[in-house]
A and B are shown apart, each in its own frame.
Chain A
Amino acid sequence: MTPKERINGYQLVYHRPDTLTDNPTHYCPGCSHGVVHRVMMEVVKEMGIQDRTVGVAPVGCAVFAYNYMNVDMQEAAHGRATAVATGIKRVLPDRYVFTYQGDGDLAAIGTSETIHTVNRGENILIVFINNGVYGMTGGQMAPTTLLGMKTTTSPMGRDVVTMGHPLDITPLIAQLPGALFVTRHSVHTPAAVRKLKKALRLAFEYQPLNKGTCFVEVVSNCPSGWKMTPREANAWMEKNMFTAYPPGDVKLPPPGLN
């Protein structure tokens, strides 16, 4: 049966949103980035805000995010995405502005910008991909690398004495008065993806209210960096990453918002 015959008389229930470009991603098979990109762009499509959305790409694996997200985008220097987003949002206050950053970008080199942007309560959305490893540069230790986790720069496993503790930045962010909505998700199951999409939709919807920064962490895999199959990586993530970085809402907007 040809594909055309197969769908004959059927209703289309899901297809790739046109807010994603046709470019195939450069991400490794099974990488969470693609799912998060897609879900974000589904929300942009469903809200009909493509013409009012400006994104900021990080340095790291998602450095080419602008090749895939079909919205106006700026590529920031390493760690500076939220400063760049601040600049955009301050001159275009009616636009939907987001950053998309990995753990190295957001929680190591860009910690200062991250904290101060949220502390100012910039009305932007920060999407934080945390997979505990530097993927783009070949699997080095990240600020969020778990204790005992092996990377190319913690070959015997991360130890506290010489390498310090994993930085759980999301609860820190939630403490800041400028943070409106702080939540942690994953994309390893259909249910998790649905939850993330709801959270991202809320985060976008809150933006025009000018009540503060929305911060959505996605605990993610890195099959290549972790040297696992995508299936193994997701299982390992659930067992280990979720212990250190448990999914769930960390800070909710005050009741009655909207």
Chain B
Amino acid sequence: MIRGTVLVAQEICKGCELCVIACPQDCLGLSETLNKKGYRFAMLTADSCTGCENCALVCPDAALTVYREPKPVRRPATSVQGAA
């Protein structure tokens, strides 16, 4: 399984929870502490993130940055050159 992770811009997040609902891996939740605006902010709660971007897609505040583990490089058996 591909591994991913997200970074949350904590001060921009308003804790709407839409990312939590959208996450197919159930790896997002809200913090116990509050940000400067008084919101609980989104955070990773498990390490099952696949970097699928669903959370970022539904985020109204563009507060999420998504990263993914690079795909393992598969070497082709023979190299193909000059394909049209």
Spell out A's residues near B (CB within 8 Å).
Answer: 3, 6-7, 9-17, 20, 24-25, 27-35, 38, 187-190, 193-194, 223, 229-231, 234
What A residues does B4 contact at CB under 8 A?
10, 13
* Known contacts A3-B7, A27-B60; is-contact A11 B15 (Cβ 8 Å): no
Q: Pick from A12, A30, A187, A223 the residue with the most CB of B within 10 Å.
A: A30
- Closest beta carbon of chain A to B52's beta carbon, Å: 8
Residues of B within 8 A of A189 (CB): 22, 58
What's the nearest-Cβ distance from chain A to residue B8, in Å?
9
A189 to B54, CA, bound (A): 8
Give chain B's interface residues, CB within 8 Å of chain A: 4-5, 7, 9, 11-12, 14-18, 21-22, 37, 39, 51, 53-54, 56-70
In the bound complex, residues from chain A placing their C-beta under 8 Å from that of B66 are 12-15
10 interchain residue pairs of minimum CB distance: A34-B60, A30-B16, A29-B14, A10-B67, A29-B16, A14-B66, A190-B54, A16-B62, A190-B57, A230-B16
Residues A9 and B69 in contact in the complex (CB < 8 Å), given A24-B61, A34-B62, A194-B57 = yes
Chain B residues near A194 (CB-CB < 8 A): 57
Is there an interface contact between A230 and B18, defined as CB atoms closer than 8 Å? yes
Contacts of B62 in A (CB 8 A): 16-17, 20, 34, 38
**Docked CA distance A190–B20 (Å):** 12
Bound complex: CA A16 to CA B61 (Å): 9
Tell me the bound Cα distance from A27 to B22 in angstroms: 20
Which of A7, A20, A27, A190 has the most chain B CB within a 10 Å cutoff?
A190
Nearest A residue to B54 by beta-carbon distance? Answer: A190
Complex-state Cα separation, A20 to B21, whole angstroms: 24
Interchain CB contact under 8 A, A11 and B67: yes
User: With A and B bound together, what is the CA distance between A147 and B61 in angstroms?
Assistant: 31
